[in-house]
Chain A
Amino acid sequence: MNFWLLLLVEVVVILVVMLVGALVTIYAELKISAHMQSRIGPYYAGGKWGWAQPAADGLKFMQKEDLVPAAADHTVFRLAPYIVIMSALAVWVVIPFGPDLVVRDLDLGVFFVLAVSSLSTLGVLMAGWASANKYSLLGGLRAAAQLIAYELPLLLAVVAVVVQAGTMSLNGIVAAQAQTWFTVGGIEISAPFLLKGQIIGFVIFMVAAVAELSRIPFDMPIAESELTMGYLTEYSGIRFTMFFLGEYASMVAISAIAATMYLGGYWVPGLPESTLNAVGPFVLLAKVAFLVFLLIWFRWTWPRLREDQLQDLAWRWLIPLGLLNIVLAGIFKVVL
């Protein structure tokens, strides 16, 4: 196929996957929170299953005026949501949906993911500063401190997987998990990295992921009761919606990365290689749905941490554990 046509198709598919994924996640969050905390809107809105609740929320956001505070730095204020949503979008470039269903199978893979997702911190700081509001600035600073602190454990968890797989390419990581691990009585057994000694790594990755997404119990940057909405305080209408969609899109994206690295991605034991291009996307989506459910479950059942507890958890627990995990992965790799 023509290079440009293929590129266009890829961009459109990724946009659709990201937007639909974000919308479905928003709906799931509304429904699950409704069941966990007896919020009645999502039971009844629109009749059956409360299907109209996300649409009502979306319409409400859209019709709000797009306000820019008079004292704000207009250009930076308007630019910030784009940076955040761009970094959420770019991650999808390397996520494999099947052996051949990947936009670009970069040799750098997870390194690329970490690099582009670190850009969202910049967008958050820009939003916090440009709003000309104390709450926004404090929220932006808290967000930046938190994102930097939790990028390290995330990186260390990823390094252990890279050591075990021997490659940074996400396709290569899936292939490493599909390889035969050992044979019992002629039956070849292969297992995802979660079962091959990466349990600590998976826990570190998921905790750090929740913190990177600034979701409860790590939502101090937008803590309503202390900072109104943190760096989002001055945003309204379509720009707020962009932040909102960006947050849910990165939730799906980070779950897809975790599913690929720890749960085997599009691969499932027993399926022949030839069917993976057709079945793979659904396998991946099922795993992503499970991880997204975990993230939502965390949010509605745990209270918020304190700022010092947050930094404590990152620097005194997750980072040493992450380093230990790399050592273990190295020993595993050499001995086994």
Chain B
Amino acid sequence: MHVSFEQWLTEIANYVFAALAIPTLVGAWMVVTSTNIVRAVLYLVVTLAGSAALFIMLGAEFVGWTVVLVYIGAVIILFLIGIMITRAPLGSHEELSHPATVKIPAALLSIVLFTVVAWAVADAFGGLAIPPDVGATRTGQLAEVIFQRFVIPFEVVSLVLLSALVGGIALARKDEPEEPA
């Protein structure tokens, strides 16, 4: 499905999309260029909030609010606690700005990754249009899909999380000093 730029401009949803997508992209850019670690995390919040908003715009309300609850409400908070409990410098920090020998390969890698993902998504879903009045997905339908059709992948993923947890505890715990024989 090809849409000309004039057509694109006539649709109000596209303006909403732009209003959400541009801050998301700017936030993502600032995450990697910011020279203060706490600020970088806060820019990540902008990016995550933007992607949550995009999900909600597509009618995937549950996914959108899960991003808010899990990523902003828990993962980011843990990032921040981890940073602040060790050191939380204010102002810009030299060690966060890298020389060109690091920057250029990183930029190249990002561009390649972006192209591959964008191409794959466009190739798979490029011809599909989202029906305009589909509304929000009911959570019940989502639950039926997850817990009936995809129940085995779902449980396998939870096993991965469990082993990550056990591994984390095993790495972090202090061993009792051995009793001298």
Binding site for B on A (CB under 8 A): 71-73, 76, 106-108, 111-112, 114-116, 118-119, 121-122, 125-126, 128-130, 132, 137, 140-141, 144-145, 147-148, 151, 168
Contacts and interface: CB of A to CB of B under 8 A. Distances in A.
B84 A116 contact: no
Contacts of B36: 73
Interface stretch (B3-11, B21-29, B64-72, B116-124): B64-72
Contacts of A151: 73
Chain A interface, >50% SS class? helix
B73 A115 contact: yes
Interface of B: 36, 38-39, 42, 45, 61-62, 65-66, 68-69, 72-74, 76-78, 80-81, 84-85, 88, 90-91, 136, 138-139
**Interface-central residue, B61, B84, B138, by most chain A CB under 10 Å:** B84
A76 B39 contact: yes
A115 B68 contact: yes
B72 A122 contact: yes
A244 B85 CA distance: 26
B87 to A, nearest CB: 11
Rank and list the top 4 A-B pairs by shortest CB-CB distance, nearest first: A118-B73, A115-B69, A115-B65, A115-B68
A145 B81 contact: yes
Contact of B42 (A126, A144, A148): A126
B61 A121 contact: no
A76 B66 CA distance: 25
B26 to A, nearest CB: 15
A111 B70 CA distance: 11
Given A76-B42, A140-B84, 9 more contacts: A73-B91, A107-B61, A108-B61, A122-B72, A122-B77, A128-B84, A129-B80, A129-B88, A132-B90
**Interface-central residue, A129, A130, A144, A148, by most chain B CB under 10 Å:** A129
B65 A118 contact: no
B69 A114 contact: yes
Given A107-B139, A108-B62, A119 B84 contact: no
